[in-house]
Amino acid sequence: MSGVAVLGYGGIAASAHLPAYEQHGIGVVGVCGRPERTADVLERFPFVGRVYDDVGDLLSDPEVRVVDIATGPEGRVALVRRCLEAGKHVLAQKPVTLDAGELPVLEELVRDASRRGLRVAVNHNARWAPPWRSASLLLREGRVGEVVGVTHVHDKALPPLTGTHFDRVEHMLLTDYLLHWVDITRMWLLDGSAEGQGEVVNVIALDSRLPGQPADSLNPWSATIVMQARSGATATIRIPGSGVATTPGCAFWVHGTTGTLRGSVLLDSDRLSLDDGTAEEQLPLTGAWFVDGFAGAMGELLTAIAEDREPENSLTSAIASLRLMFAARDSAAQGGTPVTPLPTPLPTTPLPTEDAG
């Protein structure tokens, strides 16, 4: 029994968190959510132990070691604090907050968790999407030399947005949807650079409404983020709009001084190749972002707890990605004015290396 309890039972918990934990043998003590939603939890997921009446009931259960906070962003920071005060490790959904004013609170929670001997991770599950994960491991091995550029192109339709709560989030593509892309790009710039040189020092972003976009949609459907690292390396993340494609996917390139990684994620487009200038090798991949990435995020936290170390997807790491997200939002709000992110401490412990195959 892994001692995991899921707090919040919305669409993502039902479609990704619990299926991932069931498939990968991660024991779930119980689930807490709105009664009208949790009525069928035990029938749909027989491996779940119980349904909690409320948050207090969950936090007082001695069998719960780790709380997977799968609620919406409002109030999420307060829930992290409550879990720590109850002596529980935490995996929090991303983004941990949409309020830049809560960053100092998050930094204090990092210190509080350390004082209590607890671990807080963030569900940046895309880091374990097979093409992205393999790319990260190859970069750590130095297989393309030093990174000089990262490019992402969102070549697929946007998910349904109009009329949803996501559409009411200001600059939603920049402050929620693209956070996965911002986070993995930040990691690749760090993984593929000399210490300190991969830190992003400049962010430019634009978002805009497009021809054909429904009149009642609130958010722009196009967004572009450009980041510059201290080394001079640059990264671009682009959603040209809700794409029309017979073979949709999200293509990416990582160019380095000695090689190039090319790949794609999502919608059965998963692929990754390594080109060293003499030959291009197609690399084997297994699994998929949905739902294996969710098991990867929780599995990294559970492994870190067992090994008494900080998880790779730690709250400290997530704060660094949030700083870039807020910089992109501020740049777009100013019509694309360059924004320097707030300084972020660099990791002080090496990340684990796995077999990239």
What's 105's domain CATH number?
Answer: 3.40.50.720
**Phi-psi group of 277: left, alpha or beta (phi > 0 → left; psi -120 to 50 → alpha; rest → beta):** left
pLDDT, position 14: 97
Residue 255 contacts residue 263 (beta carbons within 8 Å): no
Q: Which of 145-149, 157-161, 318-322, 344-348 has the lowest mean pLDDT?
A: 344-348
Alpha carbon of residue 243 to chain centroid: 22
Token couple for 64: 């719960």
* pLDDT bracket for residue 350 (50, 70, 90): very low
Percent of the chain with pLDDT over 70: 96
In the sheet that holds 280-282, the strands lie side by side as 200-208, 222-229, 234-239, 147-155, 249-256, 260-265, 271-275, 280-282
Query: Do 94 and 162 sit in the same domain of this protein?
Result: no
**Phi-psi group of 137: left, alpha or beta (phi > 0 → left; psi -120 to 50 → alpha; rest → beta):** alpha
* Residue labelled with tokens 């569900």: 123
Maximum distance among all Cα pairs of the chain, rounded to whole angstroms: 61
pLDDT exceeds 80 at position 104: yes
Other CB atoms within 10 A of residue 148 CB = 18
pLDDT, position 62: 98
Query: Do 100 and 132 sit in the same domain of this protein?
Result: no
Domain boundaries, position 213: 128-287+312-333
Query: Do 196 and 110 sit in the same domain of this protein?
Result: no
Inside any domain, residue 133: yes
pLDDT exceeds 90 at position 347: no
Query: Do 104 and 171 sit in the same domain of this protein?
Result: no
Query: Do 233 and 272 sit in the same domain of this protein?
Result: yes
pLDDT exceeds 80 at position 351: no
Q: Which of 98-107, 202-211, 346-355 has the lowest mean pLDDT?
A: 346-355
CA distance 178 to 290: 16
pLDDT exceeds 80 at position 255: yes
